[in-house]
Amino acid sequence: MSHFWSAVVHRLTPYVPGEQPKVAGLIKLNTNENPYGPSPRVLSALQAEVGDGLRLYPDPNAESLKSAVAACYGVTPAQVFVGNGSDEVLAHAFLGLLQHEQPLLFPDITYSFYPVYCGLYGIEFEAVPLTADFEIEVADYARPNGGIILPNPNAPTGRLLPLAKVEALLAGNPDSVVVVDEAYVDFGGQSAIALVDRHPQLLVIQTLSKSRSLAGLRVGFAVGHPKLIEALERVKNSFNSYPLGRLAIRGAVAAMEDRQYFEQTRQMIMRTREELAGKLRGFGFEVLPSAANFVFARHPVWDAAELAARLREKAIIVRHFRQERIEQFLRITVGTDDQCAALCRALALILGGEAAIVNN
């Protein structure tokens, strides 16, 4: 019945998200969710919002949330856009700011949703290769383009581009919109939000899914010049007036306000990450330096797909990408200390068994 499909649907290659298992009891280190629950203040704010008020539409402009984000980063609410997860904010940025005559540039190894949006909106793009060490080389972006987008830290490598280099990228591209997707910046980077007042072409996108433990609530935001924000609002108001429900707005405000819980949990994750990276290196893995809540690691002997399958047999899920250059890597989300210990026990069994076979 696919003759019912529109031409655009025929040519789409949709994004494939990591598995959300239906069975309980698995150790889920595959989609970079936060292992700690949301702030208790978020939970009580959500409970307070449940009631008769849900018969009413939410504030279409989510003013309370824009103000909370603005207060958090020392910008004005007119510099803030909010959406149903940062994926939606990204989608509006692709349509509203990144669709131009010249090709869009992004790294060859990056968030795999970017080429999907290009397919959806018919945007030409060029994938700019990372260096052999999987680093972004800013000089490689000095070519004609209709915009630039990159995650910082990059996904799935976890590597951080220092803020000075982000600024160099902006200096070299004054006439293109530069979108910095900071889904993981709270785990070790410095936000480029500090640069938006000096660079009107910069749009910074963040999410509450990772560092604020709210992947299930679906809230993301963008910060940039009011003219860039206006473009996103025009797309949003041509698509869905109410992308955020009352629960999402209320919960997200509480999450932005509870700085102490945010600090505490992100510090725990960064500490666990360094411990986990050390243990993986002890097992012989090459682990890229990570400023995110995951590590990207490859074993010199074991095939990554095989290793992921063996871990899965032991009820641990990690992410493996069948993509050139990175097919021997695993992306492992930083869990709690207990979850990481379980991962290491499983690896010791799997790799130890192999070592025994090799030694015999």
Binding mask 313-352 for ligand PLP (x = CB under 6 A): ----------------------------------------
Cα separation, 125 vs 104, in Å, equals 4
Query: Within 13 Å of residue 188, how many CA atoms lie on the same side as its CB?
Result: 21
Strands (E), 250-327: 286-287, 294-298, 316-318
DSSP-based three-state secondary structure for 29: strand
Q: Which is nearer to ligand PLP, 86 or 176 (CB)?
A: 86
Shortest spacing between CB 191 and ligand PLP, in angstroms: 14
Nearest to 77, CA basis, from 86, 87, 67: 67
Q: Which residues, numbered 195-214, are part of the site for ligand PLP (CB under 6 A)?
A: 207, 209
Nearest residue (CB) to ligand PLP, 236 versus 310: 236
- 85 makes contact with ligand PLP (CB under 6 A): yes
Count the neighbouring beta carbons within 10 Å of the beta carbon of residue 72. Answer: 18
Residue from 94, 106, 111, 302 touching ligand PLP (CB under 6 A): that is 111
Of 164, 185, 204, which Cα lies nearest the Cα of 270? 185
Count of residues of this chain found to bind ligand PLP when the rule CB under 6 A is applied: 13
Residue 224 binds ligand PLP (CB under 6 A)? no
Peptide bond before 35: cis, by omega within 30 degrees of 0? no
Among 49, 181, 186, 258, binds ligand PLP (CB under 6 A): 181
Single-letter amino acid, residue 358: V
Residues 31-70, one symbol each (x = binds ligand PLP by CB under 6 A, - = not), give -x--------------------------------------
How far is the CA of 117 from the CAs of 94, 108, 150, 158, 356, in angstroms? 7, 15, 14, 22, 47
Please select the residue that binds ligand PLP; options are 58, 146, 220, 251, rule is CB under 6 A: 220
Tokens, residue 348: 């010791």
Q: Contact with ligand PLP (CB under 6 A): which of 49, 87, 186, 258?
A: 87
Q: Which of 62, 149, 193, 215 binds ligand PLP (CB under 6 A)?
A: 215
* Closest to 283 measured CA to CA, from 297, 265, 271: 297
Residue 182: exposure state from Cβ atoms within 10 A (0-12, 13-18, ≥19) = buried
In the complex, the smallest distance separating the C-beta of residue 56 from ligand PLP, rounded to whole angstroms, is 25
Instruction: Residue 334: name the closest of 230, 187, 168 by CA.
Output: 187
Measured from the CB atom, the residue of 181 and 310 that comes closer to ligand PLP is: 181
CA angle 234, 223, 17 (to 5 degrees): 80
Question: Which one of the spans 7-15, 79-87, 128-136, 350-358 is the region binding ligand PLP (CB under 6 A)?
Answer: 79-87
Q: Which is nearer to ligand PLP, 182 or 302 (CB)?
A: 182
Return the residues of window 137-166 that contact ligand PLP according to CB under 6 A.
151, 155
Which of 229, 210, 217, 222 minimizes the C-alpha distance to 254? 217
Q: Indicate the residue among 32 and 173 with the shorter CB distance to ligand PLP.
A: 32
Q: Pick the closer one to ligand PLP by CB: 27 or 155.
A: 155
User: In the complex, what is the shortest distance from the CB of residue 175 to ligand PLP, in angstroms, rounded to a whole number?
Assistant: 25
> Nearer Cβ to ligand PLP, position 72 or 351?
72
- Asked if 186 touches ligand PLP (CB under 6 A), the answer is no
**Tokens 């080429």 — which residue?**
115
**Residue ranges that bind ligand PLP, judged by CB under 6 A:** 32, 85-87, 111, 151, 155, 181, 183, 207, 209, 215, 220
